[in-house]
C-alpha cells in the first residue's frame, strides 16, 4: 500500500462526509466508515462514499453468535469492502464463520481491545492482566481462526508483528506529535506505528476536525 492512512469519517451528514473524503483523497489511502455512519446511511451511504475512488474499511465490529455474524458478512458482500472488523472476544468459531462468509477480496480483522480502554477498565469487566497480554492472547486466537489480522493499539503492534509475521495490522487511536489525545488512552504517532509493523493507520479527528483537513492529511503523509 503506497499510503497506509485510512481517514475515519463519522459525520452525521452524507454530503459532508463525501466532501471531506474528496478533499483529502489525494493524501490518504482509504476511508474508514464506522457504526455511526453505517447506522445513519446504510448500504446507500457506503456506495456513495465508494464513488470517491478509495478502498472502504467498514468498521462494524461485529460480535454475535457465529451464524448471525456470518449472515451479516454475507449481507455486505455487495459493498465490496476492503476491510471489515469483528470482535475477537466473540470467539474462534465466530471468527472462522466471519472469514468464511466474507468476500474473496475482503480482509477480516479482529478488534482485540478498544484503544479507549486501559487495565483499570479491563479489571472492571473481569479481565485480569495487562492490556498487552490480552491483545497477545486475542491475536493468537484470531490467527488460529484464519483471520487476516487484528486491530490493536500502537503500543502492541510491534510485539504482535514479531509473532505473526504476515499478519495485517490495523492501528487506530493515532495522534500526530503535539496533537490532542482526547478520549484515547493508548496512543502513538502514525510514524511510530508504521515503523512497528502497522499495515493500516486509522486517523480521524486530527484530519477530519483540523482547520485545514487537506493540510493536516498532507502533513501526516509527509511523516511516513
Structure confidence by residue, pLDDT tens digits, 131-185: 899 999 999 999 999 999 999 989 899 999 999 999 999 999 898 876 665 555 5
Alpha-carbon gap, residue 73 to 99, rounded angstroms: 8
**15: CB partners within 8 A, 6+ apart:** none
Contact 81, 102 (CB under 8 A): no
DSSP 149-213: EEE--TTTHHHHHHH-TT-EEEE-S---TTS--TT-SS---HHHHHHTT-SEEEE-HHHHTSSSH
Whether this model's pTM surpasses 0.85: yes
Alpha-carbon gap, residue 128 to 122, rounded angstroms: 7
Contact 168, 143 (CB under 8 A): no
Active-site choice (18, 23, 32, 61):
61
pLDDT the model gives residue 115: 72
Percentage of the chain beyond pLDDT 70 is: 95
23 belongs to the catalytic site: no
Helices (H), 112-152: 119-124, 131-144
Report residues of the chain scoring pLDDT below 70.
Answer: 1, 178-187
pLDDT the model gives residue 129: 87
To which residue does cell 455512519 refer?
37
∠ CA 214-217-223, rounded to 5° = 140
Amino acid at each position: 500500500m503506497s499510503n497506509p492512512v485510512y481517514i475515519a469519517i463519522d459525520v452525521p451528514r452524507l454530503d459532508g462526509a463525501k466532501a471531506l473524503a474528496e478533499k483529502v483523497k489525494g493524501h490518504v489511502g482509504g476511508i474508514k466508515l464506522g457504526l455511526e455512519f453505517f447506522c445513519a446511511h446504510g448500504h446507500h451511504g457506503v456506495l456513495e462514499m465508494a464513488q470517491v475512488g478509495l478502498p472502504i474499511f467498514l468498521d462494524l465490529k461485529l460480535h454475535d453468535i457465529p451464524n448471525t455474524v456470518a449472515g451479516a458478512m454475507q449481507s455486505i458482500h455487495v459493498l465490496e469492502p476492503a476491510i471489515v472488523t469483528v470482535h475477537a472476544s466473540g470467539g474462534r468459531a465466530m471468527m472462522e464463520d466471519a472469514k468464511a462468509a466474507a468476500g474473496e477480496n475482503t480482509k477480516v480483522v479482529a478488534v482485540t481491545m478498544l484503544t479507549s480502554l486501559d487495565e483499570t477498565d479491563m479489571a472492571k469487566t473481569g479481565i485480569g492482566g495487562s492490556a498487552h497480554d490480552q491483545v497477545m492472547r486475542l491475536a493468537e486466537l484470531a490467527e488460529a481462526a484464519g483471520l487476516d489480522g487484528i486491530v490493536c493499539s500502537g503500543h502492541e503492534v510491534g510485539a504482535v508483528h514479531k509473532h505473526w509475521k504476515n499478519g495485517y495490522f490495523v492501528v487506530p487511536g493515532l495522534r500526530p506529535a503535539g496533537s490532542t489525545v482526547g478520549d484515547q488512552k493508548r496512543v502513538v504517532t502514525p510514524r511510530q506505528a508504521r515503523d512497528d509493523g502497522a499495515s493500516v493507520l486509522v486517523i480521524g479527528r486530527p484530519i477530519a476536525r483540523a482547520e485545514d483537513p487537506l493540510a493536516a492529511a498532507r502533513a501526516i503523509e509527509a511523516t511516513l
